[in-house]
Structure 1
Amino acid sequence: MTGPAPTRRSGRWIERWDPEDEAFWRATGERIARRNLWFSVLSEHIGFSVWTLWSVLVLFMGPEYGLTPADKFLLTSVVTLVGAVVRVPYTFAVAVFGGRNWTIISASLLLIPTVAAFVVMEPGTSYSAFLLVGLLAGIGGGNFASSMTNINAFFPLRKKGWALGLNAGGGNIGVPVIQLVALAIIGASGGPRVLLGIYIPLIVVAAVLAALFMDNLASVRNDTGAARDAARDPHTWIMSVLYIGTFGSFIGYSFAFGQVLTNGFGRTPLQAAYLTFIGPLLGSLVRPLGGRLADRYGGARITLWNYVGMAAATAVLIVAGMQKSLPLFVSVFVVLFVLSGLGNGSTFKMIPGIFQAKALAEGLEGEAAVAHARRLSGASMGLIGAVGALGGVGINLAFRQSFLSYGSGTGAFVAFLAYYGVCFVVTWAVYLRRTAARVPATTTASEAEARLSYAEV
């Protein structure tokens, strides 16, 4: 038996989309969803590369640029900050313009910071000009939010962990890719403008491919009430706290790793570039695995034990930093990147599951429950992604202050260790403790079901 084909209108809009209908999904839905996923990944991948561009460019900026280590940490902090803030409007742009249409627009906008960096990237440029162009690069961080919101609508709940993990992981891998390209250029004695010249045509290619092969879903309609309702739900902010610990760590460390090696261990830019790409690469590759494990065992369980690992790795980093052991420091930092990637996948898998459980607890069933969960999870993803990315700002500012105060990153790592401990407690208390606690006699059946299901999200 085959399900009905999706109905369409002009402009690559799909009117009827029901991925929870297994016949529909097998007949046509999966093929269309996967096609949109691949081209979404490409655009988001380049967006991440542009967003983290300055983590690489600062390695090119030697003494002739007149910047101190604190100046460079501040520069990368403002880039991260803008990338976090723009995630909120980017989330809702999908509902206003359509997923395909906004992917074309958002990919094209990446030309602005890339061309601007090409113009100013030379000694003698003022620090304020570098800050301004760095602010422009922050728009690359917004592509993640719109891409995740769009792909979330294409896939059924049982596939969301894998799909969202693959989408995000493919985007995240833009971080190590641009670092690898920069390594090749530095090794060949090329300048930063060569790097920028490579990415300008790639941006155009991503926009053109989105126009040719992606679709808009009419079911994802503009709903300002969804943003308001998501902001009022405490789980949006609880998950934001957890996502700061996972994605905030990933993006913050991606920006800071090279500078920590040059300032804390005396590595040259080329020596640092040989090492910095490894962690973001592995962290990006394992993100889909984190989503897959969450699909199977429950995102809350995977997230809980992931924080145990992140805390342990951070403790070892403190010891390695105090002993100035570069091999131990780099190897454990890579492990921390991998754990942050796993946690990225497991935390984002939790979001649609939480709202699905709440919909069922409120008495909704079938498609009504799915639509309610999709509405709130899509809106909350933008807010959670934005707040999570602010963790990257905090990490860069913490490193800046730690180097100013102590001459090393040890103070920052102590703060990160404490935060991972908080995340462990929050995950256990909110999403796992209730499953083991006795349900009071006054609790309704639906409330009990919602409590018990949180461990499975």
Structure 2
Amino acid sequence: MTAPAPTRRGRWIERWDPEDEGFWNATGERIARRNLWFSVLSEHIGFSVWTLWSVLVLFMGPEYGLTPADKFLLTSVVTLVGAVVRVPYTFAVAVFGGRNWTVISASLLLVPTVAAFTVMEPGTSFSTFLLVGLLAGIGGGNFASSMTNINAFFPLRKKGWALGLNAGGGNIGVPVIQLAALAVIGASGGPRVLLGVYIPLIVVAAVCAALFMDNLTSVKNDTGAAKDAARDGHTWIMAVLYIGTFGSFIGYSFAFGQVLTIQFGRTPLQAAYLTFIGPLLGSLIRPLGGWLADRYGGARITLWNYVGMAAATAVLIVAGMQKSLPLFVSVFVVLFVLSGLGNGSTFKMIPGIFQAKALARGLKGEAAVAHGRRLSGASMGLIGAVGALGGVGINLAFRQSFLAYGSGTGAFVAFLAYYGLCFVVTWAVYLRRPIGRVPATASASEEKAQLSYAEV
């Protein structure tokens, strides 16, 4: 018997039940996939706009009158805004509807892009560049709203694939804009050429969202869940770990080109040839981190991933002191890959943690599943926002290191210490003593519910 089609009112879908296999196979999957593809498009361009200034600063030569410290401060404020706006963007989907908010958030990207197009010329004051950079930060919020929206469309058994594809498609916006910058610089074009390419793409994303996406009336704000997640210590512990993984990814994405030009004397074109490789591989490997976490446990993968990140950072310190560009670039790419792997494993830990806590509280079956899903969903928005603040810390650390020592070595020493801290926290909290065990007498339904989530 075929499940009834979703009931519609305009662009709103009033009946949506992806857990009903008949409904999903008949109409749900087709609609969900369509919304996924156009959500990826909007989020991808959002990431590109957010990281726009990581390549614009490469165009800004001595005639712009900016010091290396000024450029690191500029990229820091862009990262900061992108982190902060993730919180309201997380809840905007339930207020406006997923399709409606995608149209709005995509259209808003025109503001920082057109503003940058207008002011990008020598003679513009540093304060003006800072203000326009602040506007570009809104591109970082698209990730949070996109993930929240797509999470509602897919059944539990498909969420990992859908969210992984959504996140990866967005993250790849970082290397894509760096490749676009490479093409523009290689063709002797200026920064306004790059901006001129993205303005029509933003319009296309907004129009496609309006024409092909849908709103779900079933998506409701649960402010109580956000408050409960904020009160739970594991939300903030996982935020610390996510700072080390995603914070590293986005922070290095902004800073890599500047480090190459300042510390190793590369030209903007030479830097652009190298900067896209790390973010590209880090984006592509994120789903593998989630798959390994499913198979071997998120905490184990995260623990050993931090060992790798610390080892790579130690080698970077040596490479920087010896001024070995080939070693520095190759190991920096490895560090990008490890940050992407850790993005997948840390995010996979979150549902497992709250599911384990639900079982430890004595909740059973669907009650345990609902409790774990409710808190993990709310905590992801907070963890994603705090994690992105790591990118601010990385750019500020580089700024201070170049001011104090004339190189990035001091910053890398600080990063090495932070990765060591994350290793200790992961082991002490999630591996030394598990959060909760399912009793030996647990029912089959409890065991099935537990297996629906990644192992902590």
- The TM-score bracket by the shorter chain reads over 0.9
| 1:373 shift after superposition | 3.3
* C-alpha separation in 2, matches of 1:213 and 1:368: 35
* C-alpha separation in 1, matches of 2:33 and 2:376: 20
Say whether 1:436 aligns with 2:445. Answer: no
Contact 1:161 1:294 in 2 (8 A): no
Contact 2:352 2:454 in 1 (8 A): no
Q: Deviations over 1:266-313 (max 9, x none)?
A: 111111011001101111111122223223333222222211111111
Q: Deviations over 1:143-176 (max 9, x none)?
A: 0111111122223333333322211111011011
CA distance change for structure 1 residues 438 and 277 in 2, over 3 Å: closer, same or farther? closer
| 1:41 shift after superposition | 1.0
CA distance change for structure 1 residues 221 and 450 in 2, over 3 Å: closer, same or farther? closer
| 1:29 shift after superposition | 3.1
After the TM superposition, which of the residue ranges 241-250 and 421-430 deviates more from structure 2? 421-430
| 1:60 shift after superposition | 0.4
1:441 partner SS: coil
After the TM superposition, which of the residue ranges 248-257 and 436-445 deviates more from structure 2? 436-445
CA distance change for structure 1 residues 237 and 448 in 2, over 3 Å: closer, same or farther? farther
Runs (4+) off by over 6 Å: 436-455
CA distance change for structure 1 residues 22 and 437 in 2, over 3 Å: closer, same or farther? closer
| 1:81 shift after superposition | 0.5
* C-alpha separation in 1, matches of 2:358 and 2:13: 26
Q: Deviations over 1:376-395 (max 9, x none)?
A: 22322221111001000000
* C-alpha separation in 2, matches of 1:43 and 1:361: 40
CA distance change for structure 1 residues 334 and 258 in 2, over 3 Å: closer, same or farther? same
1:124 partner SS: coil
Provide structure 2 residue ranges, at least 5 long, that are not aligned to the other structure. Answer: none
* C-alpha separation in 1, matches of 2:437 and 2:41: 47
Contact 2:348 2:454 in 1 (8 A): no
2:218 partner SS: coil
| 1:443 shift after superposition | 14
CA distance change for structure 1 residues 158 and 429 in 2, over 3 Å: closer, same or farther? farther
Contact 1:51 1:138 in 2 (8 A): yes
Q: CA RMSD in A?
A: 2.8
Contact 2:350 2:380 in 1 (8 A): yes
Q: Deviations over 1:244-284 (max 9, x none)?
A: 01100000000000000011111111110110011011111
Contact 2:351 2:453 in 1 (8 A): no
Contact 2:229 2:379 in 1 (8 A): yes
1:255 partner SS: helix
| 1:444 shift after superposition | 14
* C-alpha separation in 2, matches of 1:366 and 1:6: 28
Say whether 1:219 aligns with 2:218. Answer: yes
2:123 partner SS: coil
Q: Deviations over 1:75-133 (max 9, x none)?
A: 00011011111111101101111111111110000000000000000000011000000
* C-alpha separation in 1, matches of 2:417 and 2:450: 28
After the TM superposition, which of the residue ranges 190-199 and 303-312 deviates more from structure 2? 303-312
1:6 partner SS: coil
Equivalent positions of 1:285-304 (< 5 A) are 285-304=284-303
| 1:422 shift after superposition | 1.4
Contact 2:359 2:436 in 1 (8 A): no
| 1:347 shift after superposition | 1.5
2:454 partner SS: helix
Look up the match of 1:85.
84
* C-alpha separation in 2, matches of 1:100 and 1:363: 38
Q: Deviations over 1:225-248 (max 9, x none)?
A: 222111111121111111101100
Contact 1:360 1:450 in 2 (8 A): no
After the TM superposition, which of the residue ranges 16-25 and 413-422 deviates more from structure 2? 16-25
CA distance change for structure 1 residues 23 and 352 in 2, over 3 Å: closer, same or farther? farther
* C-alpha separation in 1, matches of 2:290 and 2:437: 30
After the TM superposition, which of the residue ranges 403-412 and 108-117 deviates more from structure 2? 403-412
| 1:402 shift after superposition | 0.7
After the TM superposition, which of the residue ranges 363-372 and 64-73 deviates more from structure 2? 363-372
Q: Deviations over 1:5-33 (max 9, x none)?
A: 44433x32233333344444344333332
Provide structure 1 residue ranges, at least 5 long, that are not aligned to the other structure. Answer: none
| 1:450 shift after superposition | 11
CA distance change for structure 1 residues 455 and 198 in 2, over 3 Å: closer, same or farther? closer
* C-alpha separation in 2, matches of 1:291 and 1:118: 38
Equivalent positions of 1:158-177 (< 5 A) are 158-177=157-176
CA distance change for structure 1 residues 435 and 357 in 2, over 3 Å: closer, same or farther? closer
Say whether 1:184 aligns with 2:183. Answer: yes
CA distance change for structure 1 residues 404 and 335 in 2, over 3 Å: closer, same or farther? same
Q: Deviations over 1:306-345 (max 9, x none)?
A: 1111111111111111111100110110011111111112
* C-alpha separation in 1, matches of 2:229 and 2:108: 28
* C-alpha separation in 2, matches of 1:381 and 1:436: 19
Contact 1:166 1:287 in 2 (8 A): no
After the TM superposition, which of the residue ranges 160-169 and 77-86 deviates more from structure 2? 160-169
Contact 2:294 2:454 in 1 (8 A): no
Contact 1:161 1:346 in 2 (8 A): no
After the TM superposition, which of the residue ranges 129-138 and 95-104 deviates more from structure 2? 95-104
- Identity of paired residues, percent? 93
* C-alpha separation in 2, matches of 1:137 and 1:371: 37
| 1:370 shift after superposition | 4.0
After the TM superposition, which of the residue ranges 443-452 and 315-324 deviates more from structure 2? 443-452
Q: How many residues align?
A: 456
Contact 1:432 1:455 in 2 (8 A): no
Equivalent positions of 1:102-251 (< 5 A) are 102-251=101-250
Contact 1:162 1:295 in 2 (8 A): no
2:151 partner SS: helix
Contact 1:435 1:451 in 2 (8 A): no
| 1:365 shift after superposition | 4.7
After the TM superposition, which of the residue ranges 210-219 and 28-37 deviates more from structure 2? 28-37
CA distance change for structure 1 residues 165 and 452 in 2, over 3 Å: closer, same or farther? closer
CA distance change for structure 1 residues 433 and 375 in 2, over 3 Å: closer, same or farther? same
CA distance change for structure 1 residues 124 and 318 in 2, over 3 Å: closer, same or farther? same
* C-alpha separation in 2, matches of 1:287 and 1:195: 27
CA distance change for structure 1 residues 293 and 271 in 2, over 3 Å: closer, same or farther? same
2:432 partner SS: helix
Contact 2:229 2:378 in 1 (8 A): yes
* C-alpha separation in 2, matches of 1:362 and 1:83: 36
Look up the match of 1:396.
395
Contact 1:162 1:292 in 2 (8 A): no
CA distance change for structure 1 residues 352 and 28 in 2, over 3 Å: closer, same or farther? farther
* C-alpha separation in 1, matches of 2:205 and 2:406: 42
